[in-house]
Amino acid sequence: MGRASDLSLRRDSGLRVTSPARSLSDLTIADLTIPEPGSTTARDVLSQALRRLLRDAFEACRSAPPSARAEAAALRATLDHASRSHPGALIAALRRPTIGALVRALRPACGLSPATRDALVVELLAGLRHDLALSGVSPPPTPSLRVPLRVPPRVLSLLDRTATDTASGAVTHPYHPIARNVVLALADNNPLAMEEAHPDKEGNAIDLGGRSIDAWTAMLRDALALIETHLPDLSAEIDLFLHQIVPVGFDERRHLSASYQEAIGTIYMTLHPSLMTMTEAVIHEFSHNKINALFEVDDVLENAWSPLYASPVRPDPRPLHGVLLAVHAFLPVARLYEKMIEANHLLSRNEDFLRRFARVRATNREGAEVVLVNGKPTALGRGVIEEIARWDAHYAKMK
């Protein structure tokens, strides 16, 4: 794979190649829940997750079903060429959820049917070659492939500057800017999007819930701005991880959101009229993305999947993996409330705001107790558990 094995991330200008990358044994997880100023922990974790993803992309070529062997060979040639000549462009392409989710879904553990795996190999080849071509990489020639092409968000700006006739429907514009590099996505190629673990949901079909695109983007823009103001280091991590938010309906009584370890960079959200509810949800699902990147390279807990325990945020019993996800996601939510109170934000002067802060702290306390008492951390996971213990103690002091 040439220089591809030395790939890592640099925060200053997106993705570049550095050498050598930190090995997993060098990784220290001290602030993956709430970052300290100038932290590189999330970036280092994402770098390790992308290194695994690159290996998995090559593995997808080797394990492709016979019916997709030609496409798999072409994909291998594309990966070989890009890893030697433009490794940064290759990692940038794999980092996009429209590509990365396909690679992860091709893992045997996902249990896809042979026909679905065939289709994903073809789609992955088409999408990867398209992204690399737009990055200035000229992949080796391969047979023409008749596949539907889903255009990544950043490519649309290029298409917008062309004279392409969209009246025919050949080109659609499903990506709508929210803030910086995050878009509202009305197209989603995550093969697992309709697989839902939450008992109150049935998948994540795209649905604006009868609200306008402007209503969605304005609310999400305000939520991201609130995070940037009060949790700037967490906001910087969001910029690094998050590519797209997929709308899955409107509900004025509750909020339901989702994310997938296979689709790091994507979060699914319902629209809610409360800015604080939406901001909580962004932090919550982004935090899942962040720890899911760690789960890509480490189990974190040796007893992550059995037995089951009561969860502070779910009606169904959950393995410690699920309880850990909840605590890791709600601690930075508590930090947002704390920082807004310190800043005397207008919203923080409301009694409902203070009651919600108290409920979040109580939820965290309950979940942290389950994890801290019962969890058996791995060597790498010990840092996560110790950080949770520190923040749990911090909030336990509050009345």
Taking 80 as the threshold, does the pLDDT of residue 312 lie above it?
A: no
Q: In whole angstroms, how far apart are CA 281 and each of 114, 172, 277, 328, 367?
A: 36, 28, 6, 13, 18
pLDDT at 4: 31
Separation of alpha carbons 329 and 280, rounded Å: 9
> Residue 207's beta-bridge partner residues?
248
Separation of alpha carbons 186 and 163, rounded Å: 23
What are 199's two structure tokens?
Answer: 């008992």
pLDDT at 314: 74
What average pLDDT does this structure show over 262-275?
A: 96
CB 377 within 8 A of CB 22: no
pLDDT at 196: 59
CB 145 within 8 A of CB 125: yes
Where does the pLDDT of residue 67 fall: very low under 50, low under 70, confident under 90, or very high at 90 and above?
Answer: confident
pLDDT at 199: 53
pLDDT at 203: 76
Taking 60 as the threshold, does the pLDDT of residue 156 lie above it?
A: no
pLDDT at 183: 97
Between these two residues, 151 and 134, which has the higher pLDDT value?
Answer: 134
Where does the pLDDT of residue 25 fall: very low under 50, low under 70, confident under 90, or very high at 90 and above?
Answer: low
What average pLDDT does this structure show over 136-146?
A: 58
pLDDT at 195: 75
CB 302 within 8 A of CB 377: yes
> Residue 29's beta-bridge partner residues?
none
pLDDT at 141: 56
DSSP structural state of residue 140: P
202-222 pLDDT per residue, tens = 779 999 999 999 999 999 999
pTM (predicted TM-score): 0.86
What average pLDDT does this structure show over 166-192?
A: 84
Taking 70 as the threshold, does the pLDDT of residue 106 lie above it?
A: yes
DSSP string, 266-289: EEEEEE-S-HHHHHHHHHHHHHHH
Q: Interhelix angle for 97-105 vs 41-62, to 10°?
A: 50
pLDDT at 26: 75
Separation of alpha carbons 299 and 294, rounded Å: 8
Which of 112-121, 137-146, 323-332 is predicted with the least confidence, judged by mean pLDDT? 137-146
pLDDT at 155: 43
Which of 3-7, 39-43, 223-227, 279-283 is predicted with the least confidence, judged by mean pLDDT? 3-7
Between these two residues, 88 and 62, which has the higher pLDDT value?
Answer: 88
Helices (H), the chain: 41-62, 69-85, 87-95, 97-105, 114-134, 156-160, 213-230, 232-241, 275-295, 320-342, 351-374, 381-396
339-376 pLDDT per residue, tens = 999 999 999 999 999 999 999 999 999 999 999 999 99
pLDDT, mean over the chain: 85
Please name which of 69, 77, 79 lies closest in space to residue 103, comparing C-alpha atoms: 79
Where does the pLDDT of residue 169 fall: very low under 50, low under 70, confident under 90, or very high at 90 and above?
Answer: low
Question: Could you identify the residue written with the tokens 């959101």?
Answer: 257
